Structure 1
Amino acid sequence: MRIANNVLELIGRTPLVRLNRLPKPGGAVVAAKLEHMNPGGSVKDRTALAMIEDAERRGVLKPGATLIEPTSGNTGIGLAMAAAVKGYRLILTMPDDMSVERQRLFARYGAEIHLTPAIEGMTGAVFAAQEMIRERPECFMPQQFENPANPDVHRRTTAPEILEAVDGRLDAFVAGVGTGGTITGVGEVLKAKVPGVQVVAVEPAGSPVLSGGKARPHAIQGIGASFVPGVLNRSVIDRIMQVRDEDAIAWSRRLVRAGTLRASGGLGGARSPPAS
């Protein structure tokens, strides 16, 4: 193994691991792709780097430029890490009820935090970011929910990694839907390469927007936006599974205990039984 030039070279090529201590319906092999092993701790490292590199190739992101993005989640961590390595200034807008620990994590990477009233939710953070862009048109907003580089990185990297690991044999792919990039990019490739594969989307039962329900507050971090993302290709989805907050949290803990995985509520949601 060679020495990496920087931490961004360590993004991707994450392993799959069998979840041997969990129930196996019908004798199926259940495996999890360990995206927390990316250097920033989530699959969003792929997305963040891809959006930045795409903007660089298109010439809209110049050396020393400023990025502005409304996010309080893992995309913010990925962007902060990539911006620190590449020498960009990063401004993140987010509601002021975001935890102090998360704000400190962003700040450690050098990101600047702009807080908006919590009562306005992420809508307020998006509006603030858009206002900044209008005032500073030379800045760049990645727009993870609309950026085609988001699903494209999963077509190019995540999906081929999965196919290689399973030797092309796969019955189903299950993923929580946040921006929709992962399930779109991976789902499109799997549908083209594996006949009969089922693609299952997971969303919070308390905010079933993909199923046509109303957006409401929920506790499953990383999935369940209050709108249908622009990058989401719904045609690749065979089934939408709704998961209760308490089930997602319980299963994330169970995964940690059963397989020594670092599991978020989103991963717990992907493994939980559907809400009845």
Structure 2
Amino acid sequence: MAYSILDQIGHTPLVEIKQLNPNPNVRMLAKLEYMNPGGSVKDRPALAMIEAGIASGELTRDKTVIEATSGNTGIGLAMVCSIKKYKLLLVMSESASLERRKILSARGAELLLTPGHMGTDGAIEAVYKLVRENPDTYFMTDQYNNPENWKAHYNTTGPEIWDQTNGEVTTLIASIGTSGTVMGISRFLKEKIQRFQLLGLNHI
């Protein structure tokens, strides 16, 4: 029995893909990260960044967690902050879908919208400005630069893949966003496999 939904982050299944694989000499496996409680791989760094902030003393009860995101990191942070009882401010472009805004608000996050034409860069700039002007008010998780992002995957996702394949994994294929997932998993597996291969996929 789990005593917290946060205990269910990680240890996701690894399943073999057969119908989409044209080469019988190659095994294709998929890590089902959507089975994390927040629905994505981003639950891992969300939890890691918050717990590291608490451990370092930088995140205190009188501070609000702040991050620029309208994506899965925001959902993960909203879940973690709700359970650990920290206030959360998510800054995002006003072009973010109404559905996504409703999901984040329902999970307890406060939202700050930035001009749509400025995109993600505008949201990031707004976060840095708020933190500079109010350093005692906010704890910035800073997913794009926080080493706890990739360390979450070095400490959990990589070892899980290694164990689930009995050390037979040779190649990682993963999409690149903040690059935390790819960096953490590949760092771990490169320490285990001499001829490890990495294929990073960029969003268009």
TM-score (normalizing by structure 2) = 0.96
Equivalent residue number for residue 92 of structure 1? 90
Deviation at residue 64 of structure 1 after TM alignment: 4.7
Output the CA distance in 2 between the equivalents of 1:188 and 1:26.
28
Count of aligned residue pairs for this structure pair: 203
Superposition RMSD in Å:
1.1
Output the CA distance in 2 between the equivalents of 1:12 and 1:64.
29
Equivalent residue number for residue 78 of structure 1? 76
Equivalent residue number for residue 52 of structure 2? 54
Is this contact kept in 2: 1:52–1:142, CA < 8 A? yes
Equivalent residue number for residue 221 of structure 1? none
Output the CA distance in 1 between the equivalents of 2:101 and 2:134.
24
Output the CA distance in 2 between the equivalents of 1:187 and 1:122.
26
Q: Describe the shift of the 1:38–1:64 C-alpha distance in structure 2 as closer, same or farther (beyond 3 A).
A: farther
Q: Which amino acid aligns with 1:163?
A: W
Q: Identical aligned pairs, as a percentage?
A: 44
SS at 2:140 equivalent: coil
Q: Which amino acid aligns with 1:102?
A: R
TM-score (normalizing by structure 1) = 0.72
Is this contact kept in 2: 1:24–1:30, CA < 8 A? no
Equivalent residue number for residue 188 of structure 1? 187
Ranges of 4+ aligned residues in structure 1 off by more than 6 Å: none
Give deviations 1:140-162, integer Å, cap 9, x for gaps: 01000100111111111101100
Q: Which runs of 5+ in 1 are unaligned?
A: 205-217, 219-276
Equivalent residue number for residue 178 of structure 2? 179
Residue 157 (structure 2) pairs with residue 158 (structure 1):
yes
Output the CA distance in 1 between the equivalents of 2:134 and 2:85.
19
Deviation at residue 63 of structure 1 after TM alignment: 2.5
Q: 1:35 aligns with which of 33, 38, 43?
A: 33
Give deviations 1:89-131, integer Å, cap 9, x for gaps: 1001111011100000000111011001100111111111112
Residue 119 (structure 2) pairs with residue 115 (structure 1):
no
Q: Which amino acid aligns with 1:143?
A: D
Q: 2:125 aligns with which of 124, 127, 140?
A: 127
Equivalent residue number for residue 144 of structure 1? 143
| Structure 1 or 2: more strand by fraction | 2
Equivalent residue number for residue 166 of structure 2? 167
Q: Describe the shift of the 1:132–1:74 C-alpha distance in structure 2 as closer, same or farther (beyond 3 A).
A: same
Is this contact kept in 2: 1:16–1:31, CA < 8 A? yes
Give deviations 1:158-178, integer Å, cap 9, x for gaps: 011000010001221111111
Output the CA distance in 2 between the equivalents of 1:51 and 1:171.
29
Q: Which has the higher contact order (CA 8 A, sep 6+)?
A: 2
SS at 1:42 equivalent: coil
